[in-house]
Structure 1
Amino acid sequence: MFESQALAQKKYTDYKRSGVEWLYDIPSHWKVMRFKFLSSITTGSKNTEDKVDTGIYPFYVRSQTPERINSYSFDGEAILTAGDGAGVGKVYHYVNGKFDFHQRVYKFSDFKHTTGKFLFRYLQSNFFKVATLGEAKSTVDSLRLPLIQDFLVCFPENKAEQASIIDFMDLKSEQIEQTILFKERQIELLKERKQILIQQAVTRGLNPHAPMRDSDIEWIGEIPSHWTIKRAKYIFREVDERSPDGQQELLSVSHLTGVTPRSEKNVTMFMSEDYTGSKTCQKDDLIFNIMWAWMGALGVSNRAGIVSSAYGIYRQLHPDTLNPQYLEMLLKTTAYIAHYNKVSTGLHSSRLRFYGHMFMSMEIGFPDRDEQDAIVAHLDLESEKLNKAVDLLEQQITKLTEYKVTLINSAVTGKIKVPGVTEPKTQDMKVA
């Protein structure tokens, strides 16, 4: 729907050279001026109590997750806010998902040729160009006052035309955002459906008519009558083997990704210079992150490697007892995780520990290996279908986000003519 609308957007009758390389042509009646001639800019305080004013449109740009109002993706992080009326606006640095009020604040006011909202939308759409002006090497460095003052802005002098452009952008942004929110909710439902399928299959099996029995164990509950219940100590042994040289692949364990190579994790983590003496694991070993087991930080490794000495490593006494995929899915179900949480020791959640003796004394309910294999094969098939549906929705969201950015940029730089705009006679324009 939105793509077809984009093709139908009208153009202005006459265009002229803007004199600005990245702006290209602009409507013939538009002007180009430097930011410093459009609004006064003053340096605000670094007061940590300084808050974003009610009614001001928040905006930040990140390389991965655009904010709900508007976005432009580039390498860096920043927040830009602005408002109309009183002409209040701020520029913030964005840090770790939170507003950092210790940064320099620029206040824009006394708008002479544009409304505050138009100027905000223009900067919002073209913010990455501010960030790449001059010799700035990072977003924080790029927010220097001289760069903002000399930034070139194109605009129609008629504020009624500016208002029409803003109304158009607000309407289209809201429509696109509502569509994105709907698709995000669909993704959430699909992911919930996947978790329900996994939970049901690994704890109840695939036959809904199978006779059930009460296990009399809180975290196992009812299971098919033919399933087995055993303590972990009769299935596993704890291993503590050490690397003589620390040259094996370094692995990490988290509640989100299970056991994964540290090199694949997109986070900043402390790296040791020497891993000699670290614990080693083998393929199909079960590994618990002792400190975060209460969150489900565990997994079965699909490779040999070295892990933190604080992890617990368990190896099956008989390798064919438990399918590795089935084992990981079972031990990550909510009831089992609730058990780790309950028995872990510590003063509060950030200090809870799930030690080896706690796991070895825990009962596990499971079917024979053939049924486990059938459950895994069924879940692989169903998960693939759901994952494809999620991937398609995520692709649609990406396209919608890109379209919104393109649409806003096109409207605010005169590349398209929004409804309600009447063109005046062509007039000369010079770069201020």
Structure 2
Amino acid sequence: MSKSPGSLPTYENYRDSGVECYGSVPAHWETLANKYIFDLKKNLVGKNSSRYTLLSLTLGGIIKRDMENPEGKFPADFNTYQKVTPGDFVFCLFDVEETPRTIGLSSLHGMITGAYTVFRPRKKFDEEYLQYLYLSLDSGKRLRFLYKGLRNTIPKEVFLAFKSLNPPIQEQKLISRFLSVKTAQIDQAIQTKERQIELIKERKQILTQQVVTRGLDPLAPMRKSDIEWISEIPAHWETVRLKYLFKEINERSKTGEETLLSLRMELGLVPHDDVSDKAISNDSLVDYKIVRPGQMVMNRMRAAIGIFGVSFRIGLVSPDYAIFDINERANSSFFLRLFKLPLLGTQFRLGSKGLGTGSSGFMRLYTEEFGNIKVAVPPLGEQLEILHFIDSTSERMDNACILLEQQITKLKEYKVTLINSAVTGKIKVPGVVEPDSGERLPLLAG
């Protein structure tokens, strides 16, 4: 798996395929019009839709639709949905350029929207090879030359006239088996690295929570806390309600000319124009709240998931946000780390009022409830020491995550390249015996 596709053997003889998206292919491979490969199906479920499982075409293939937690729109009835059986190909032949995945090979019985096109490959073709071929074409959106109209549609008759690559059937099977093994290995490697990223992030969160609630010195004397959500704290730390550290400020813009700021989970407070193309006039910003450098901003409706930020410039934020001046005993960056912890998120959620539950609905954390939450406060110097420890440790962990993400990206790129190279004959997979040039098979119709 560590080899690049270019390091694998190639065929001895190639020819021009005559099809734009394939280029040169092994000399003994055919190209064959899809009308000789696929049979069009259009079997509607009609009034029997209740007997069928609803299916969806996704990046992960064709899956059962989650009806317990449904998302998206549903029709008034499913009478126009069509039957799908294992071995059927489902194609989305419209909005091809914009749709993340437009092809799937079903392993399920069920029904799918009538807007899609369902084909059944004939028995003398390997369905797994065809799946890999069209996944490769779809991942690169390499059928653009077939698009018609503003919606980038491939008409059925155009698709059926399009020529697929058709290696000898035994070769198709060898290619699909090779790719099945190799892509499974790649997917497993990706999953392992994704899990490593999750573990690093969990460790980072646990470590941050530990030091902001218990300090850096494991030998420091501890005392029982009078805070419900912390059992013990260092003996020299104070317990203080947030209202004694954070004072709400309500300064409003009279002109709307100040820079509009957007509050984001990862980025904090950033200029709105940096994260959105939506133009907003100064007139519509009149009476927005002014935030000044060093002040903290809280999104009342999303405080429970840590949507806080500290401003480094003068700007405007939503009137529904809360803006606080920070007491000199509190370091803004230290408390920003504290407020983003799930431990505090639970307290913010419990203190929120309104309609809905959790972070959904219209739950708001009002200033009074925010101010009544009690926290453990180390001396200012110790806050800075803890902050420095968090930043230095986080940097190492973040760099490790970045490296893993880069490796994941390379693995995904390798997978795409490997599939394309195998299905178009740019590499010769193990087990393939290339015929002598004089033994080239006769071309079939198409």
TM surpasses 0.5: yes
Between 1:39-48 and 1:113-122, the stretch displaced more is: 39-48
Q: Which residue of structure 2 aligns with residue 209 of structure 1?
A: 219
Q: 8 Å contact 1:43–1:105 — kept in the other structure?
A: no
- 1:92-131 per-position Cα deviation (integer Å, ceiling 9, x unaligned): 489899x996571111114265222222211111114455
Match of 1:374 among 385, 409, 415: 385
One-letter code aligned to 2:374: E
**Secondary structure of the residue that 1:274 maps to in structure 2?**
helix
**Distance between the aligned counterparts of 1:219 and 1:260, measured in 2?**
32
Give the 5 Å matches for 1:289-300.
289-300=299-310
Q: Which residue of structure 2 aligns with residue 384 of structure 1?
A: 395
Match of 1:178 among 172, 188, 199: 188
1:282 matches 2:292? yes
Q: Which residue of structure 2 aligns with residue 345 of structure 1?
A: 353
**Distance between the aligned counterparts of 2:252 and 2:149, measured in 1?**
44
Between 1:251-260 and 1:107-116, the stretch displaced more is: 251-260
Q: Which residue of structure 2 aligns with residue 38 of structure 1?
A: 37
- 1:176-209 per-position Cα deviation (integer Å, ceiling 9, x unaligned): 1111111111111111111111111111111111
1:426 matches 2:417? no
Q: Which residue of structure 2 aligns with residue 90 of structure 1?
A: 90
Give the 5 Å matches for 1:130-169.
131-136=143-148, 141-156=152-167, 158-169=168-179
**Distance between the aligned counterparts of 2:205 and 2:427, measured in 1?**
45
- 1:342-394 per-position Cα deviation (integer Å, ceiling 9, x unaligned): 12112322221110111122223211221111111111111111111111111
1:335 matches 2:346? no
Give the 5 Å matches for 1:268-279.
274-279=284-289
Q: Which residue of structure 2 aligns with residue 243 of structure 1?
A: 253
**Distance between the aligned counterparts of 2:445 and 2:318, measured in 1?**
61
Q: Which runs of 5+ in 1 are unaligned?
A: 61-66, 70-83
Q: 8 Å contact 1:45–1:105 — kept in the other structure?
A: no
Between 1:184-193 and 1:332-341, the stretch displaced more is: 332-341
Q: Which residue of structure 1 aligns with residue 67 of structure 2?
A: none
1:59–1:31: structure 2 CA closer, same or farther, 3 Å change rule?
A: farther
Give RMSD over aligned pairs.
Answer: 3.3
Q: Which residue of structure 1 aligns with residue 25 of structure 2?
A: 26
Q: Which residue of structure 1 aligns with residue 126 of structure 2?
A: 115
**Distance between the aligned counterparts of 1:279 and 1:414, measured in 2?**
62
**Distance between the aligned counterparts of 1:52 and 1:153, measured in 2?**
30
1:4–1:95: structure 2 CA closer, same or farther, 3 Å change rule?
A: closer
**Distance between the aligned counterparts of 2:99 and 2:238, measured in 1?**
50
1:176–1:135: structure 2 CA closer, same or farther, 3 Å change rule?
A: closer
**Distance between the aligned counterparts of 1:44 and 1:104, measured in 2?**
13
C-alpha displacement of 1:155: 2.0
Match of 1:191 among 201, 211, 227: 201
TM-score for both structures, normalised by structure 1:
0.83
Q: 8 Å contact 1:130–1:151 — kept in the other structure?
A: no
Q: 8 Å contact 1:32–1:431 — kept in the other structure?
A: no
C-alpha displacement of 1:264: 4.3
**Secondary structure of the residue that 1:166 maps to in structure 2?**
helix
Q: 8 Å contact 1:190–1:390 — kept in the other structure?
A: yes
1:129–1:299: structure 2 CA closer, same or farther, 3 Å change rule?
A: closer
Q: Which residue of structure 2 aligns with residue 79 of structure 1?
A: none
Q: Which residue of structure 2 aligns with residue 231 of structure 1?
A: 241
TM-score for both structures, normalised by structure 2:
0.80
**Secondary structure of the residue that 1:291 maps to in structure 2?**
helix
Q: 8 Å contact 1:219–1:338 — kept in the other structure?
A: no
- 1:131-173 per-position Cα deviation (integer Å, ceiling 9, x unaligned): 52245577x63354344334332121x2111111100010000
C-alpha displacement of 1:220: 4.1
Percent identical pairs in the alignment equals 35
**Distance between the aligned counterparts of 2:299 and 2:114, measured in 1?**
37
Q: 8 Å contact 1:295–1:337 — kept in the other structure?
A: yes
Q: 8 Å contact 1:88–1:107 — kept in the other structure?
A: yes
**Secondary structure of the residue that 1:121 maps to in structure 2?**
helix
Q: Which runs of 5+ in 2 are unaligned?
A: 63-83, 105-110
- 1:392-412 per-position Cα deviation (integer Å, ceiling 9, x unaligned): 111111101100110011110
1:59–1:25: structure 2 CA closer, same or farther, 3 Å change rule?
A: farther
**Secondary structure of the residue that 1:133 maps to in structure 2?**
helix
1:124 matches 2:135? yes
Q: Which residue of structure 1 aligns with residue 77 of structure 2?
A: none
- 1:32-77 per-position Cα deviation (integer Å, ceiling 9, x unaligned): 1232332123457699977577xx9x763xxxxxx599xxxxxxxx
